[in-house]
Structure 1
Amino acid sequence: MLLLLGCPGINAQVVITNPPFPTVNDQVIITYDATLGNGVLAGETPPVYAHTGVITNLSTSGTDWKYVIAEWNENTDKAKLTPIGNDKYTLTIGPSIRDFYGVPEGEEILKMAFVFRNAGGTIVGRSADNSDIFADVYEAGLNLNIQSPENGTLVSTGSVVNFQTEASNATLVELYVDGIFNSSSSTSPFTGSITIGTTGLHMLRFVAHDATTTMSDSVWLYARGTIPVAELPAGVSMGINYIDNETVTLVLNDPPALKQFVYLLGDFNNWLPSEQYQMNRTSDGTFYWLTINNLTPGTEYALQYWIDGELKIAEPYCAKILDPWNDQNIPSTTYPNLKPYPTGKTTGIVSVFQTAQEPYQWQVEHFATPSPEGLIIYELHIRDFVATHAINTVKDTLDYLQGLGVNAIELMPVNEFEGNDSWGYNPAFYFAPDKAYGQLNDYKAFIDECHNRGIAVIIDMVLNHSYGQSPLLQMYFDPGAGGDGQPSADNPWYNQTCPHEPWCWGYDFNHQSLYTQAFVDSVNHYWLEEFKVDGFRFDFTKGFTNVVGDGWNYDATRINTLKRMNNHIKQVKPDALVILEHLTTNSEEKVLADEGMLLWGNLSGTYGEASMGDLPNSNFSAISYKAPSRNWNAPHLVGYMESHDEERCMFKNLNEGKSSDSYNIKELTTALKRQELTGAFFFTVPGPKMIWQFGELGYDVSIDDPCRVCAKPMHWEYQQDWRRAYLYNVWSSLIHLRRSYEVFSTTDFTISASGAYKKISLNQADMNAKIIGNFDVADATDTPGFQHTGWWYDYFAGDSIQVTDVAQAIMLAPGEYRIYTDKRLEKPAIGTGLTLPATTAQPLRVYPNPADEVLFIDFVAGKASEISIQVYNMTGSRVLTTSDLHVTRGMNNLSINTTHLPAGLYILQLQQGDFRYTERILIR
């Protein structure tokens, strides 16, 4: 029996070159056998294309392709393969390798690199371990190529092993087995066979001679003995068990008991199998385990499981991996002293363990998670939030986030995902924090500092699916099924195919499997205990079902699945936050909300329309858990105007905003004021809320620029624009208001949001509140419907009105909003600290313009002082004077009554010291 380890040489025969020893100056015919390697292009209808480049002496690694022929989706004839039957294809590389790839003279070509794909680029042929395929480029003269056996071939003791080598310009090729001469040949190819009679490692060394030169190459074989059987030691769990500073016990679960044997490969045995590192198999065949002794305390060791001599996987429960394709792109400033990948000793992802690790010293051992009803969550993506893409730098922004007033931060996925540049919804390893963002203790330090500031940390967890690098997937996977392969029918963790089309990504977890449920519980337990996270936002829990369909309908089994998971989480941390991106029928979401889970509530559409002034579609009353469309019993709706997955409101305002006369939402200042307006009707609604990063500064880059998941500019410089900084201050003041007064957590409230003049009434024993706002682009007058007569106080203006009739009407300018309470509150200093624009810019805004009764003036003062305001008619006569007005440094909100002015055009002048600012105004 012959089995393959998968060490160097695994790509042999997937591609064959003619001539067999091509040089840079040769024309070469590449023959690709689509049935070999991962085999996914077998049976595919042509055309098939090569995606190809070269590895040169200037490549930074063995996978750093140079001079690639065509972009991924470019179907060029130059890379189009010719079918020759039986799933084989050819490609002519000519007139020479150097000319075909366009490699300059003087640059040494070491290998040709390939993957193959269908015309759409959706099915990709790679090597058996899904790595790239390489063909060596040789120097002219004596060369030797061992075609079989593969390096690292595994055999049973007593097996007969066939061998074949080819040599160019050789007069003699000799074979030595374990250093002893075996046979020779003066012709090429040199073929024969040997018998492997003893257990252990054996080396086959081939030596080629010409008249003046000798060269050699070797392959290793391993002959295995009997499989050791032993039951699991007491007290161990799946994964890496640290026994003491010199000892670990590794445990691998094989629920179907279909694997035959497993070896450990790693730094501790130079990546070579031996009887010492063959894992014990339990009597029922469901576990493999091995204890490793005499380790050096504090040393990092890399390892893999070698399963049945065919598959190498990293430890599924490991806290750190090494990635041969992406680690090289992680800056040393983000991850200092990253352990090098064991290049040349293995392939694929490897796991890392380390005894005697220095435990993190927590500042905050026990953090009281904010109540779900009072959450103000800030969702952020590390890559797009800080230029370093590092969690340590995010920690440096906590003054900014704390100043905004949020009490929870939700991190988009931070466990190891495929690649370094991603949203993270392509997970691979669930117990390892992604190294692209920092070291393990960097994450802990971030969470610790958040807790020190009273901020909870929620992590986005993707358990609906994973992608192809998951070891649990690879253990039972059929690479020839489906477009990119699929889980085999006996995979204990995954569905063979996704049941909930069209909402399918990666490979779908089977949440009805007890093994999947145990894995899910382990993941959640780990992050709660090891990192002290405060909860999870679970991605696409609609997919936690095996019911065929789009997942929209009520599903009692899915409800029970989520209740079971939630109960386990609460056993670990009773106040943990469990947030679901569920998006199913309301009757199901209501049941889950009653169970204490929180559910994402996407109000992006209606808030966006309201902000743009598109009134027919602007009813955002479903932001309330009490809305008729919901009728929930508990305030467990996490409402949001924006998330990572929605278009940015400011982009909509600037591109689709409505206008009337001189009021234009597409104008930046007005667009930002509309975000104040929507904020006033968002943060004041009882129940948890979430905002997306930089929304508080009016972030206006489209989600699709240049693509949905592509990196976006950060625009921290927006803080220097006083208009954007003012929006930040307004939202901060709204959040402060929300978190400081119980009325904004009341159950006694109503929302009227169907028209232009929208209203919120909130009632509570100590204080009542009324929010009114005009979402039209023209003046609007309506009855606010104050709860009672008497004095009411404007939160932002600091003014008061005496309501003598609850039916009295109030006119609002376009975009104007007011927050009234029947208890005087401290006026927020929303203009404090704002930087005055350059003297060439107007530091004031006058609105509405045209005006009817009241003219509002936003003025940014460089310092505290007295100012005066004069209004002149078009003949130059002064018709209004307001003097000795005191302003503070930063933003000031002023108003003047214009009811006595006849309709017409006027000039308004604001004087501060030696500075005079002028605006034309129209009175109607």
Structure 2
Amino acid sequence: MAPPLASQIEFTLFAPNINSVSLIGSFSAWQGIPMRKFNDGQWRLNVSLEDGEYEYAFRLQPIVIEKRKNGKKEPVQLNKFQDVIDPYAMKVNLSKNVGVVTIKNGMKIIDEYEWKYDNEAVNFPQNKDLVIYELYIGDFTEKGTFQAAIDKLDYLVILGINCISLLPIAEDGEEHSWGYAIRHFFCIRSAYGTSEDLKHFVDECHHRRIRVIFDAICNHAQGECPLYQIDPTPYFYWNQIHHPEHPEEHWGPEFNYEKIEAEEDKWTRDVKPAVQFMSDLLRYYIEEFHIDGLRFDAAKQIDNYDVLRYFDRFAKEIIKTKFNSKPFYTIAELIPATDSVTKPHGPLDSVWRNISHQLVKQLKNKDDFNLKSLETLLRPIGVGRDEQYETGERFIIYLSSHDNDRMLRVVRGEESNDNLLDETLWRQVKLAITLLFTATGVPMVYMGDEIGMANEIGKEDKTTRVNKLDWSLITRQPNCSLLELIQSLIRLRHHSAAIRSDNLNVFHADVERQVLAYERWSSENEDDRVVVIANFSKNEYKGYKVINWHMVGRWEQVLGTSYIQVATTHLILNLSAHEGIVFMYKSK
């Protein structure tokens, strides 16, 4: 048998300020092989390797930031050599502090996964038609792995979810955490599984027509990130934090994107190394894992619309050339939400928009019942408003997320000690949910809220606290009734173009009694109409009269089985306290 053939495998490291770099690895008995520095700041070396798996690292004298007696910070190269993991390593061995490279057929590979359902992307829902489920792999199942999550995908299909927004999936070296302080950007978090497991998860989502959005952590890194360990100066703000006026928003070394420039549609390639690194990462996410969108964490702290616009166009170009222009969604996490970050004038497709604060005020205090605020909450589209989004596709509305308390606690209020099983609270929650799914915008639910999880996220330890999703709640009351409500409302969204449109008109506003009614309709089909009647008060009203009803005919109550016949411009009905009733037009 002929001996295995070896191939020339290139190793590279961008480190323009480092004086000497050697490659060490299992292929060299951990003896250093000097690398050569080129004019572009890259260190390169070709090594003859047979197919197989090898451990490796870079040996160098790193540059660190030291603070002088005068208070100034300066970069200083250490005299001692250190071994550092490749910032582009796609696999790592954390216990050995080394990267792992796999060679197959003379090339570096990440894995050998074969995609099964790529051809189904042509049937993916468009951005405006999404119902998003924010999912944290670590707590979604007891095992906290990609494979275990696959077993629960059919539950999401039954619920009506057609998009999953994943919390970060890159390696941070922690046993259990949200993952927003990344150490190894190109390495999949080992606690969740392998890169093949993640691809299998995405593939199975696509098979069920569920799109997958990745969290892009482009604002900051962990202090133990190899980029920072080797030399922070090309990549990060190192002499001071990016926003010294907000030290509470500093979560680690912050990437410096300041050299990128926009000139209409022409983009310069004289960019900062941070831009190149993140561009490579986004390409890796899209091409390797076939994702369908990106959520840019901490867009406010990045504070650079030019670079966000570049990332959006860069990602969309890959989607166009590699994935036949399938639907793709770019989203900003920016608090408070603003239409300025969204298209047509802003850089991204959409922004997270938390409506809980406004809504809870209206639910809790009669004096805070404000028609203008409610109209803005329901439809912040067009001129003449504080927020002027182009369409409902430009904002994602939600009541809670991984970063704030559970929906039940949000609606109850931070200062309240009311029983979380209180009937009034559950009525208020159900009304809030009804408004969430019938307002304009793309709705999002944080995992577990659909079954009424009420655990505290915590304060100091909220990013590392174990809060497993309690699947037993599905069979309990009032939890299962909440699940049925959300399922019915999602089914309505999928069935009715009126709910997914930008059309919303408040036609009845009774400020004294805190009752509101609004209509949704489709511009393509005048018979596709939905009316929502919302009683924000704690009072029950018998024989309540809703005026200015637009369309006479037969209407079906969506959350029940009853029908009503509207023969005039008003409707008389009974309203329970904190009740939301949804009607769908059936016929004349």
Q: TM-score normalised by the shorter chain: which range applies?
A: 0.7 to 0.9
1:379 aligns with 2:141: no
How far 1:754 moved relative to its partner? 9.0
Whichever residue aligns with residue 389 of structure 1, its letter is G
Compared with structure 1, are the counterparts of its residues 537 and 456 closer, same or farther at alpha carbon in structure 2 (3 Å cutoff)? Answer: same
- RMSD across aligned C-alpha pairs, in angstroms? 2.7
Tell me if the contact between 1:653 and 1:665 (Cα under 8 Å) persists in the aligned partners.
no
Does the 8 Å contact 2:488/2:558 carry over to 1? Answer: no
1:608 and 1:641 in contact (8 A); partners too = no
Alignment of 1:179-258 (within 5 A): 246-254=7-15, 257-258=16-17
CA contact (8 A) 2:305 2:346 kept: no
Q: How does 1:45-84 map to 2 (within 5 A)?
A: none
Kindly state the Cα deviation for residue 746 of structure 1 after the two structures are TM-superposed: 2.0
- Aligned pair in 2 of structure 1 residues 612, 725: CA closer, same or farther (>3 Å)? farther
- Would you say the 8 A contact 1:793–1:824 is kept in 2? no
What do residues 770-825 of structure 1 show as CA deviations (whole Å, max 9, x unaligned)?
10121221124452532123332212222222223324454411022211122169
The alpha-carbon distance between structure 1 residues 799 and 311, as it changes in their structure 2 partners (threshold 3 A), is: same
Contact 2:23 2:35 in 1 (8 A): yes
Once residues 318 and 559 of structure 1 are traced to their aligned partners in structure 2, the CA distance between those partners, rounded to angstroms, is 29
Q: CA 1:784/1:322 → structure 2, altered by over 3 Å: closer, same or farther?
A: farther
User: Is this contact kept in 2: 1:538–1:579, CA < 8 A?
Assistant: yes
Counterpart secondary structure, 2:405: coil
Q: 1:714: Cα distance to partner?
A: 2.4
Deviations 1:696-723 (A, max 9, x none): 1011112227842222142111012042
Which runs of 5 or more structure 1 residues have no equivalent in the other structure?
Answer: 1-243, 325-340, 342-348, 477-486, 546-557, 826-924
- Please say if 1:301 is aligned against 2:54: yes
Q: Which residue of 1 aligns with 2:92?
A: 321
Contact 1:563 1:592 in 2 (8 A): no
Q: Following TM superposition, by how much is the alpha carbon of 1:682 offset from its aligned partner in structure 2, in angstroms?
A: 1.0
* Alignment match, 2:476: 721
Q: Which residue of 2 is the match for residue 448 of structure 1?
A: 203
The one-letter amino acid of 2:257's match is: H
Match of 1:363 among 92, 107, 116: 116
Q: Which residue of 1 aligns with 2:262?
A: none
Question: Are 1:245 and 1:355, in contact at CA under 8 Å, matched by a contact in 2?
Answer: no
Deviations along 1:402-440, whole A, 9 cap, x unmatched?
A: 111011011101111142221111011211111011111
Q: What SS does the corresponding residue of 1:465 show, helix, strand or coil?
A: coil
Return 5+ residue gaps in structure 2 as ranges: 62-79, 260-270, 320-324
Alignment of 1:310-709 (within 5 A): 310-324=81-95, 341=96, 349-356=97-104, 359-366=112-119, 367-368=121-122, 369-476=124-231, 487=232, 490-500=233-243, 501-502=245-246, 503-513=249-259, 514=271, 515-545=273-303, 558-573=304-319, 574=325, 575-583=327-335, 586=338, 588-591=340-343, 597-610=349-362, 616=368, 619-620=373-374, 621-626=376-381, 628-635=385-392, 636-653=394-411, 667-704=421-458, 707-709=461-463
8 Å Cα contact 1:791/1:800 also seen in 2: yes
Counterparts of 1:300 and 1:784, CA distance in 2:
73
CA distance change for structure 1 residues 740 and 594 in 2, over 3 Å: closer, same or farther? farther
* Correspondence 1:281 to 2:37: yes
- Match for 2:100: what amino acid? V
Aligned to 1:768: 529
Shift of the 313–716 alpha-carbon distance from structure 1 to 2, 3 Å rule, reads: same
Tell me the residue number matched to 1:893. Answer: none
Residue 540 of structure 1: CA displacement? 0.7
For residues 652 and 493 of structure 1, the distance between their equivalents in structure 2, rounded to whole angstroms, comes to 36
Which TM-score applies when normalising by structure 2?
A: 0.83
Name the % identity.
24
SS at match of 1:562: helix
Radius of gyration: which is bigger?
1
**Aligned partner letter, 1:301:** Y
Distance 1:439 1:770, change over 3 A: same
The answer (yes or no) to whether the contact 1:537–1:580 under 8 Å persists in 2 is yes
Task: Determine the C-alpha separation between the residues in 1 that align with 2:480 and 2:587.
Answer: 26
Specify whether residues 654 and 586 from structure 1 end up closer, same or farther in structure 2 by C-alpha distance, changes over 3 A only. closer
Partner Cα distance (1:560, 1:671) in 2: 44
C-alpha distance 656-753 of structure 1, shift in aligned 2 (>3 A) = farther
Cα displacement (A) at 1:742: 0.8
Q: Which residue of 2 aligns with 1:268?
A: 27
Answer whether contact 1:615 1:775 (CA < 8 A) is retained: no
2:339·2:389 contact (CA, 8 Å) conserved in 1?
no
Q: CA deviation at 1:246?
A: 4.4
Cα 1:589/1:753, change in 2 over 3 Å: farther
Instruction: Please list the CA deviations of residues 872-922 of structure 1 after superposition, one character each: whole Å capped at 9, or x if unmatched.
Output: xxxxxxxxxxxxxxxxxxxxxxxxxxxxxxxxxxxxxxxxxxxxxxxxxxx
Asked if the contact 1:606–1:617 (Cα under 8 Å) also holds between the matched residues in 2, the reply is no
**What are the residue-to-residue correspondences of 1:853-872 with 2, within 5 Å?**
none
Task: Name whichever structure is richer in helix by fraction.
Answer: 2
SS at match of 1:683: helix
In 2, the alpha carbon distance for the partners of 1:707 and 1:492 equals 29
Partners of 2:48 and 2:137 in 1: CA distance:
39
Mapped to 1, the partners of 2:220 and 2:145 lie a distance apart of 26
Q: Which stretch of the first structure deviates more once superposed, 377-386 or 450-459?
A: 377-386
Count how many residue pairs are aligned between Structure 1 and Structure 2.
Answer: 523
Q: Normalization by structure 1: what TM-score?
A: 0.54
**Match among 727, 730, 743 for residue 498 of structure 2:** 743
Residue of structure 2 aligned with 1:814, choices 573, 577, 580: 577
Tell me the distance in 1 between the aligned counterparts of 2:416 and 2:37: 70
Q: In the aligned structure 2, how far is the partner of 1:638 from the partner of 1:615?
A: 28
CA distance in 1, matches of 2:535, 2:365: 9
Instruction: Report the Cα offset of residue 492 of structure 1.
Output: 4.1
